[in-house]
Amino acid sequence: MWINAPDEGYLHLFPIFSALMADNKLTEYQLSDLVSKFNIDAQIASIKPFGSGHINDTYRIYNADAEGHDYLLQRINHYVFKNVPLLMSNIVHVTEHLKQKLSSLPKDEIERMVLTVIETKDRYPYFKDAAGNYWRMFYFLKGTKSYDQVTNEKQAFEGGKAFGAFQALLSDMDVSRIKDTIPNFHDIEYRLNNLHNAIRSDKLHRVQYVSEEISFIENRSADMGEIMRLGKAGILPLRIVHNDTKFNNVLLDSGDKAQCVIDLDTVMPGYVAYDFGDSIRTIINTAAEDEADTAMIGLNISLFEAYAKGYLQAAAGFITEQEINSLIKGVLLLPYIQAVRFLTDYLEGDVYFKIHTPGHNLQRAGAQLALVKRLESSKEKLEEIIINNWNKVK
């Protein structure tokens, strides 16, 4: 596991952060000194960079005892997460609750299923160095793997099961204990307001080229606000949800069984449909998120059904009928939100998402809107799959 941005929206920050790190490469002595701040019971054999994230700020700490714990040391991206104490407080509350719910299991099994935050010797869940960088440490989960893309139904089922179980274990936790680390993350009213501001200002005179996209978005804006309206009316319960349910945020064991949900930085109050919709957005699309030829965008129904089956089996003990009915709304909402964000950035001059070619954000928006259109055309079929699988487990 390593620090990834919650979505591609933070890629514009990476060059800044990477440049700062390039000027301050850490020596083995400095890394050893950082490790010494944490309360670990191990003789360190070596410390190596770990992962393939955009920022090389994660290190695997190898234990000289092959039977003992290895560790992950991470530099927290405080350009994205402005309030690190709040962020780490969230993670501690969540992991402690998860472990309490699993307390009947053997300790070593719990440690494989839930991230373990290692405190500093001063009993803080993070260490702040003299340069103002924040560091944290977890147990390294040996024998696990992750995939960037779902390639078969077994993987999709395990992903659904993992995120459904994650929500189920947190369903009785007091939502007020968890605070927003990124405000308005899935708030469609906020996203649409940003788009409207970009249209009004039209500082690069690009609105004239996107009238079709704007019309598509506006024609659906009322429907896309339904999850938030149902939540505000108390019909959908506010839950503690992951908010970044990419498949690579599930660690699998050697047999491709779900083991642990990771990257808890965006765990915040929200609605279960957000997590379900975000997973489906990345699983069901037969093409890339930024596919230029929208005719290539289709729906992988078998992966959708496998994910829904796994999710509903795990979530059956807590989810309400109203939440079941909201899942299809989340499936439509999450690619719509992404399209709104891409189009907003295109109109504002591509200042937020990193682009690879001129017009890249417009291309991304078009691909996500095409996905929305495909989902709309298959809405009844997808909803039937959800209901059929729900009826089998409720």
Residue where a domain terminates, one of 88, 108, 139: 139
In a domain, 146, yes or no: no
In a domain, 145, yes or no: no
Locate 377 and state its tokens: 């055309």
pLDDT at 273 over 90: yes
Helix ranges restricted to H, the chain: 14-22, 28-35, 84-101, 107-113, 153-170, 188-201, 211-224, 226-232, 272-283, 301-315, 321-348, 360-377, 379-393
In the predicted model, what is the mean pLDDT of the chain? 91
User: 200 and 74, same structural domain?
Assistant: no
pLDDT at 4 over 80: no
Least confident of 246-250, 270-274, 297-301: 246-250
Q: What is the DSSP letter of 264?
A: G
Cβ 243 vs Cβ 6: under 8 Å: yes
Residue 44 CB neighbour total at 10 angstroms: 16
User: 375 and 231, same structural domain?
Assistant: yes
Domain of 235, in residue numbers: 153-393
pLDDT at 23 over 70: no
Local structure of 6: helix, strand or coil: coil
User: 220 and 328, same structural domain?
Assistant: yes
User: 375 and 295, same structural domain?
Assistant: yes
Quickly state the pLDDT bin for 11 (edges 50, 70, 90). Answer: very low
In a domain, 257, yes or no: yes
Query: What total number of domains does the chain contain?
Result: 2
User: 328 and 244, same structural domain?
Assistant: yes
> Which residues lie below 8 Å from residue 45, measured CB to CB, with a gap of 6+?
62, 63, 64
Q: Tell me the average pLDDT across 207-236.
A: 97
In a domain, 234, yes or no: yes
User: 199 and 123, same structural domain?
Assistant: no
pLDDT at 52 over 70: no
pLDDT at 139 over 70: yes
Q: What is the pLDDT of residue 25?
A: 67
pLDDT at 15 over 80: no
Percent of the chain predicted with pLDDT > 70: 92
Asked whether the CA dihedral 269, 271, 5, 258 is positive or negative, the reply is positive
In a domain, 47, yes or no: yes
Local structure of 240: helix, strand or coil: strand
Spatial separation of the C-alpha atoms in residues 303 and 151, rounded to whole Å: 8
User: 135 and 168, same structural domain?
Assistant: no
User: 190 and 109, same structural domain?
Assistant: no
Q: What is the pLDDT of residue 73?
A: 94
Q: What is the pLDDT of residue 349?
A: 96
In a domain, 196, yes or no: yes
In a domain, 2, yes or no: no
Q: What is the pLDDT of residue 30?
A: 86
Q: What is the pLDDT of residue 29?
A: 79
Asked whether the CA dihedral 377, 378, 383, 388 is positive or negative, the reply is positive
In a domain, 80, yes or no: yes
Spatial separation of the C-alpha atoms in residues 149 and 159, rounded to whole Å: 11
Q: What is the pLDDT of residue 179?
A: 96
Place of tokens 């300790």: 107
Cβ 135 vs Cβ 281: under 8 Å: no
Residue where a domain terminates, one of 89, 106, 139: 139
Cβ 81 vs Cβ 18: under 8 Å: no
Q: What is the pLDDT of residue 7?
A: 54
Domain containing residue 83: CATH number: 3.30.200.20
Phi and psi dihedrals of 193, rounded to 5?
-60, -40
> Which residues lie below 8 Å from residue 65, measured CB to CB, with a gap of 6+?
42, 43
Q: What is the pLDDT of residue 17?
A: 43
Q: What single string gives the DSSP state of each residue in 326-383?
A: HHHHHHHHHHHHHHHHHHHHHHHTS-SS--SSTTHHHHHHHHHHHHHHHHHHTHHHHH
Residue where a domain terminates, one of 115, 139, 163: 139
Q: What is the pLDDT of residue 78?
A: 85
pTM of the model: 0.90
Q: Tell me the average pLDDT across 276-304.
A: 96
User: 200 and 115, same structural domain?
Assistant: no
Structure confidence by residue, pLDDT tens digits, 118-129: 999 999 999 999
User: 50 and 168, same structural domain?
Assistant: no
pLDDT at 5 over 70: no
Amino acid of residue 157: F
User: 167 and 89, same structural domain?
Assistant: no
Domain containing residue 189: CATH number: 3.90.1200.10
User: 68 and 216, same structural domain?
Assistant: no
